[in-house]
Structure 1
Amino acid sequence: MRLWRFLATLGLTAWFAGVATAQQWSLAEAAKPYAGTTIKAIFLDRPGYKAAAKLIPEFEKITGIKVTNEVIPYENTREKIVLDMTAQGGDYDVVLVDVVWIGEFASNGWLVPMEKFYNDPKLADPALNLKGFFPILLDSFGTWDKKIYGLPFDNYAGLLFYNKCMLEKAGFKRPPATWDELLKVYAPKLTDPKQGIYAFALQSRRGETQSADSFMRMLWPFGGSLIDPKTFEPNLLSPGSQKGLQFRQDLMKYMPPGIVDYDHNEAVNALAQGKVAMITEWSAFNGTLTDPKSSKIVNCLGVSTEPAGPAGIKGALGGFSYGVNAYSPPERQAAAWLFIQWITSEAKAKDYIRAGGVSARMSAYKDPAIQKAYPFTVPMVKAWEQGNPIFRPRFPEWPAISEIIAQIGTEMMLGKVSVKDGAAQINAKVKEILSKAGYYDGKKPKLQ
């Protein structure tokens, strides 16, 4: 009994100590040494960043820290960051890190390991709760070599957005469950080129959109992959990869002309204006499609997981974390951390969602009110829980590989090279890049 009383007393003491610590820490107090500091963040012209912009005045009022931003087109973002980092300029204190840039940025020492901040009791909110992030998001977007370099901020799951009214008019009561069903059953009935109406739009503009959102999206559901996870050999000539890439070619006759020039905005707008019946797009664009100012199909919008292929539902995984620039001065690093910690916190998750963002916090989506107000979150959470963590390899060589896929993948879609020959060309170039980088002689780790 004495032992149990002792343990109980010890437990209560620890609990009260924790409560006291939590009560003692406040964002306002933590920010006092940095009041008057100005930090700069990279923004994209996407809903999650517009949502953050709505919340920033609250952070500035509490902390006295000024948060500025520069809106950069996605295709130019990595180049801007790399130029700043190689010059050790520290222009951007809050660094936007794509899922496929984390290996490059962390390996080069461009980001401050987050443990520097979350192990500092003066800077770390006791309610930080790293375990409260969806594991696949924290692992994929913010973690490299078992260290956390960023917290998930702008978070995407690939979803099927569709026009319920168009589908019902064509005789369909539900969206297609499989890619095969979409191609063979739905697409012919939903396409009318004379009226400028098409069944599907796959964003495929040359660049990361082509390599990730178009090319890679069609590999995994069909049992293919860019690289064999076991042998690390290029894998585009495998039966699954070939089937997926050929499927993309077959689907093109049901897509708008000029689809290789469609970026995200063009694909979303085509659905929003009633020009296409279905798109597979990032969850973050739900806000655009439900806004009466930008969408004609608000009352007809439906959303589900991406269709299944022979290998099951293997939806796209994408998104960004926010990290701290290793070349920024210490006071701006601390201020940047306080902003990142706050904007990604559980306390602000629902506010961020209501403002138009997509939080990475699990707790926010357990709220029935959030599920009812934002129906897209239900299939989105399902997609994150099923997971496809190596949708795109995260190693530092991805940017070089992405450029090759973007070029040859576009040529495939245009019919300038066959699916088989194009895959062989990409395989050869990928093997050359990875060989030079030391992946086959044991000098480098493989897929993370």
Structure 2
Amino acid sequence: MKRSMLFLTAALGLVALSGAQAATITIATVNNPDMVTMQKLTPEFNKVYPDITVKWVVLPENELRQKVTLDVASGAGSFDVATVGAYEVPIWAKNGWLDPLTPMFAKNPTIAKSYNVNDIIPGVRTALSQNGNLYAVPFYAESSMTFYNKDLFKKAGLTMPANPTWQQIQGFAAKIHNPSGGVYGICLRGLPGWGENAALFTTMVNTFGGRWFDQNWQAQLNTPAWKNTLTFYVDTLKKYGPPGATSNGFTENLTLMSQGKCGMWVDATVAAGFLSDPTSSKIVNTVGFANAPTGPGTPRGSHWYWSWNLAIPKSSKQEDAAFKFITWATSQDYIALVAKTKGSWASVPPGTRTSTYNNPAYKKAAGAFSSLVLNAINTADVTKATKDPVPYTGIQYVAIPEFQALGTQVGQYIAGALSGQTSIDQALQQAQAAATKVAKDGKYQK
């Protein structure tokens, strides 16, 4: 009897183990601060799902894009969870590269109920959906805005308007630029990349009255609007920016700004939380916030729309485990966990959930910027980003598959002009040729 009971107990143990469905998932993500926090909180995920082992591949933004795109497009299956942007999701969904998440929520009613997809900000949810299916969940969403050091402004007798112009920004930079004192008037993205310098630069082009293509897909990169923008950008950074600006992307400028070395910085709204975090920022008590600058052409397209999202590639062999991770990492509970871990609600991943902006604790902690950020996200219109009509959508990018390569190529030409390797006219001629080739080779021109 005892012997048969031992066999039965062993058998039940094997059944329990097999039911646990132990799995290993590999997650590819960008080395932004919010994602670094996500990685550090892996032990908290394992408290909920002890049978899922998580492996991380954390890369700089440009490298992440290249590796993940190649892997997902080829079906190599190296990644079970991919961090993808608002640009990629609809294109990859259309190509059949991503697993639709809506059926997974239907199969997991308990997760669906606690997750509450309808709590995701409507515009963000729409951007991640195709034909009624959700293809990714947002880790954080952002627009762009102006950050400035209030102490430096006060010393210079300056007042930042709520809606500054680029001309005003340049004037302020001239007055607070003090490199011998370790302070640069302004920091802007100079690192080449379609999601780096080209993103910021395209918002500038928009407000200077420019566009990438006209309605007939004729490239517009050698127009006066583009020349005026590039001349202004190069002039501003050469006179009032830090040295080696072509090496500075989001992460590098965040470090400079948080250390008090930049008088102003125009970049992603997600940085508001980082600059308000006393564990990483020296300017918590002196950082000010304003809307993204507008140019002389139009207020349209001055602030971008972006979200970093978690998606499951079609080539993943661990869809169930991957689904559990992405719903954990983008849930209301995760946001609360970050607030507890960081010691401040101002440090949570922003821009994704209505409940975050309705939360009294978040309103109190992020009161200086929360409404400004939410308004920027809600008013960023990807269908009306330029003064003149265009055949594409997107504010800081052109929503075609070829733009990832084109934007990076043009970003290199912009950096060449900034570094002095080429003239502004040469850079624009090269950019025009690259955009024309894309329009022709992609058969966009009729």
Change (3 A) 1:237 1:176: farther
**Structure 2 CA distance, aligned partners of 1:75 and 1:349?**
27
Change (3 A) 1:184 1:433: closer
Question: Is the 2:28–2:68 Cα contact (8 Å) retained in structure 1?
Answer: no
Out of 415, 420, 445, the position equivalent to 1:440 is: 445
Other-structure match for 1:399: 404
Change (3 A) 1:180 1:38: closer
Question: Is the 2:173–2:264 Cα contact (8 Å) retained in structure 1?
Answer: no
SS in 1 for 2:263: strand
Out of 248, 251, 261, the position equivalent to 2:236 is: 251
Other-structure match for 2:305: 317
Other-structure match for 1:413: 418
**Structure 2 CA distance, aligned partners of 1:90 and 1:198?**
45
Change (3 A) 1:261 1:284: same
Deviations 1:190-210 (A, max 9, x none): 112443432101121123354
Deviations 1:64-118 (A, max 9, x none): 3333322112221122213433553322111111233335533443211223313
Segments of structure 1 that go 5 or more residues without pairing to the other structure are 1-31, 442-448
- The reply on whether 1:423 has 2:408 as its aligned counterpart is no
Amino acid at match of 1:234: A
Change (3 A) 1:160 1:50: same
- The reply on whether 1:308 has 2:287 as its aligned counterpart is no
Out of 365, 374, 381, the position equivalent to 1:373 is: 365
Other-structure match for 1:81: 68
Out of 223, 227, 233, the position equivalent to 2:218 is: 233
**Structure 1 CA distance, aligned partners of 2:20 and 2:295?**
52
Other-structure match for 1:178: 164
Other-structure match for 2:144: 158
Amino acid at match of 2:125: L
Give the ranges of 4+ consecutive aligned residues of structure 1 lying more than 6 Å apart after TM superposition.
Answer: none
Structure 2 length as normaliser, TM-score? 0.82
Out of 36, 39, 44, the position equivalent to 2:25 is: 39
Deviations 1:317-373 (A, max 9, x none): 2331111121122xx101211221232234544444536422511221122321220
Amino acid at match of 2:203: R
**Structure 1 CA distance, aligned partners of 2:133 and 2:218?**
27
Q: RMSD across aligned C-alpha pairs, in angstroms?
A: 2.7
Deviations 1:274-294 (A, max 9, x none): 222000122333344234443
Other-structure match for 2:58: 71
Question: Is the 1:192–1:198 Cα contact (8 Å) retained in structure 2?
Answer: yes
**Structure 2 CA distance, aligned partners of 1:312 and 1:376?**
21
Question: Is the 1:47–1:284 Cα contact (8 Å) retained in structure 2?
Answer: no
Amino acid at match of 1:381: L
**Structure 2 CA distance, aligned partners of 1:87 and 1:379?**
41
Amino acid at match of 1:232: W
Amino acid at match of 1:378: S
Change (3 A) 1:393 1:137: farther
Out of 337, 349, 354, the position equivalent to 1:357 is: 349
SS in 1 for 2:75: coil
Structure 1 length as normaliser, TM-score? 0.81
Q: CA deviation at 1:271?
A: 1.8
Change (3 A) 1:423 1:191: same
Other-structure match for 2:342: none
Segments of structure 2 that go 5 or more residues without pairing to the other structure are 1-17, 340-344, 383-393
SS in 1 for 2:272: helix
SS in 2 for 1:198: coil
SS in 2 for 1:294: coil
**Structure 2 CA distance, aligned partners of 1:160 and 1:321?**
24
**Structure 1 CA distance, aligned partners of 2:132 and 2:200?**
30
Question: Is the 1:162–1:175 Cα contact (8 Å) retained in structure 2?
Answer: no
Question: Is the 2:218–2:445 Cα contact (8 Å) retained in structure 1?
Answer: no
Alignment of 1:90-101 (within 5 A): 90-101=77-88
Question: Is the 2:106–2:112 Cα contact (8 Å) retained in structure 1?
Answer: no
Change (3 A) 1:34 1:435: farther
Question: Is the 1:47–1:287 Cα contact (8 Å) retained in structure 2?
Answer: no
Question: Is the 2:169–2:293 Cα contact (8 Å) retained in structure 1?
Answer: no
Change (3 A) 1:344 1:184: closer
Question: Is the 2:137–2:330 Cα contact (8 Å) retained in structure 1?
Answer: yes
Other-structure match for 1:296: 282
Alignment of 1:75-154 (within 5 A): 75-122=62-109, 125-140=112-127, 142-144=128-130, 147-154=133-140
**Structure 1 CA distance, aligned partners of 2:20 and 2:232?**
55
Q: Which moved more, 1:261-270 or 1:99-108?
A: 99-108
**Structure 2 CA distance, aligned partners of 1:233 and 1:363?**
44
Change (3 A) 1:185 1:83: closer
Change (3 A) 1:307 1:86: closer
Q: Which moved more, 1:273-282 or 1:338-347?
A: 338-347
Change (3 A) 1:397 1:107: farther
**Structure 2 CA distance, aligned partners of 1:347 and 1:247?**
45
Q: Which moved more, 1:271-280 or 1:162-171?
A: 271-280
SS in 2 for 1:208: coil
- The reply on whether 1:386 has 2:379 as its aligned counterpart is yes
Change (3 A) 1:82 1:184: closer
Question: Is the 1:34–1:335 Cα contact (8 Å) retained in structure 2?
Answer: no
Amino acid at match of 2:39: A
Identity of aligned residues (%): 27
Deviations 1:27-70 (A, max 9, x none): xxxxx956422222123222211332354434322233333322
Deviations 1:284-317 (A, max 9, x none): 3334423444332222111222123342262132
